[in-house]
């Protein structure tokens, strides 16, 4: 019996090599530099294979995005299961806001409908998971200490992480420590000092 979803075609070496190459090129030179020829060269594979595996470039981008999103989703699920779930969620969000790649996808989405739809769907999925979990977590803590609504807290963590990471890209970090302290002071208040760091 075959595994339901991971068919041979979906796990082939060339296919994975192409996705990996796409990720690298996007990071190094931006989405516009991702072409079938460059993918082929970087992956050590014939450029025509791009069309064999993905039909067109848009599909390749979408699969690459989903691959990353799935990994992040798993990571967040694990985080929310930790002993200090808010600390773990904060770490997960902050670690995953490696914005170079994210910004490329956002820019791509700006003018490719199919990709925009993927990112939108993925964002909602993440937000739903986070809101649901954080609401339950906060409900379990001393309500007098909790100053934020779940939605506010989740968006605060996401916004700040994303923005700081983006600025770091430009070697700008004035005030960064201060906002981080703001958030972490709150986390200490409700969950105490950070103990373990889940990966």
Partner DNA sequence: GTCTATAGCTGGATAGAC
Partner DNA sequence: GTCTATCCAGCTATAGAC
* Residues that bind a second copy in the complex, under the rule CB under 8 A: 27-33, 100, 103-104, 106-111, 116, 119-120, 123-124, 127-128, 131, 148-152, 154-156, 158-160, 162-164, 166-167, 169-172, 174-179, 181-182
When asked if residue 34 is in the footprint of DNA (CB under 7 A), the reply is: yes
SS3 4: coil
Q: Alpha-carbon distance 76 to 97, whole Å?
A: 12
When asked if residue 55 is in the footprint of DNA (CB under 7 A), the reply is: yes
Tell me the CA distances in angstroms from 57 to 3, 18, 35, 37, 134, one per residue in order.
Answer: 27, 11, 8, 11, 37
Return the biggest CA–CA distance within the chain: 62
Question: 25 and 39 in contact (C-beta within 8 Å)?
Answer: yes
Q: How many CB atoms lie within 10 A of CB 134?
A: 22
The least distance separating DNA from the CB of residue 35, rounded to whole angstroms, comes to 3
The least distance separating DNA from the CB of residue 139, rounded to whole angstroms, comes to 48
When asked if residue 64 is in the footprint of DNA (CB under 7 A), the reply is: no
Q: Which does 37 bind (CB under 5 to 8 A by kind): a second copy, DNA, none?
A: DNA
When asked if residue 166 is in the footprint of DNA (CB under 7 A), the reply is: no
Among left, alpha and beta (phi > 0; psi -120 to 50; other), residue 171 is left
State which residue, 8 or 178, has the beta carbon closest to DNA.
8
State which residue, 55 or 159, has the beta carbon closest to DNA.
55
When asked if residue 45 is in the footprint of DNA (CB under 7 A), the reply is: yes
When asked if residue 27 is in the footprint of DNA (CB under 7 A), the reply is: no
The least distance separating DNA from the CB of residue 25, rounded to whole angstroms, comes to 9
State which residue, 14 or 102, has the beta carbon closest to DNA.
14
Distance of CA 109 to the CA centre of its chain: 15
Q: Which does 114 bind (CB under 5 to 8 A by kind): DNA, a second copy, none?
A: none
Look-up of token digits 């990571």: 75
Tell me the CA distances in angstroms from 155 to 12, 107, 135, one per residue in order.
Answer: 38, 21, 13
Binding site for DNA (CB under 7 A): 8-9, 12-14, 33-38, 45-49, 51-52, 55-57
């Amino acid at each position: 019996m075959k595994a339901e979803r991971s068919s041979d075609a979906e796990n082939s070496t060339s296919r994975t090599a192409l996705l990996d190459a796409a990720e690298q090129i996007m990071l190094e030179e931006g989405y516009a530099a991702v072409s079938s020829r460059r993918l082929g060269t970087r992956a050590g594979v014939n450029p025509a294979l791009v069309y064999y595996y993905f039909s067109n470039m848009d599909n390749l981008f979408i699969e690459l995005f989903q691959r990353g999103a799935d990994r992040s989703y798993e990571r967040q699920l694990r985080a929310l299961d930790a002993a200090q779930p808010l600390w773990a969620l904060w770490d997960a969000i902050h670690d995953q806001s490696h914005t170079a790649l994210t910004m490329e996808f956002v820019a791509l989405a700006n003018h490719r409908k199919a990709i925009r739809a993927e990112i939108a769907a993925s964002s909602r999925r993440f937000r739903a998971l986070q809101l649901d979990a954080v609401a339950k977590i906060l409900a379990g803590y001393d309500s007098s200490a909790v100053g934020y609504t779940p939605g506010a807290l989740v968006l605060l963590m996401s916004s700040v992480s994303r923005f700081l990471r983006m600025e770091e890209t430009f070697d700008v970090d004035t005030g960064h420590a201060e906002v981080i302290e703001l958030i972490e002071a709150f986390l200490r208040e409700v969950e105490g000092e950070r103990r373990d760091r889940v990966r």
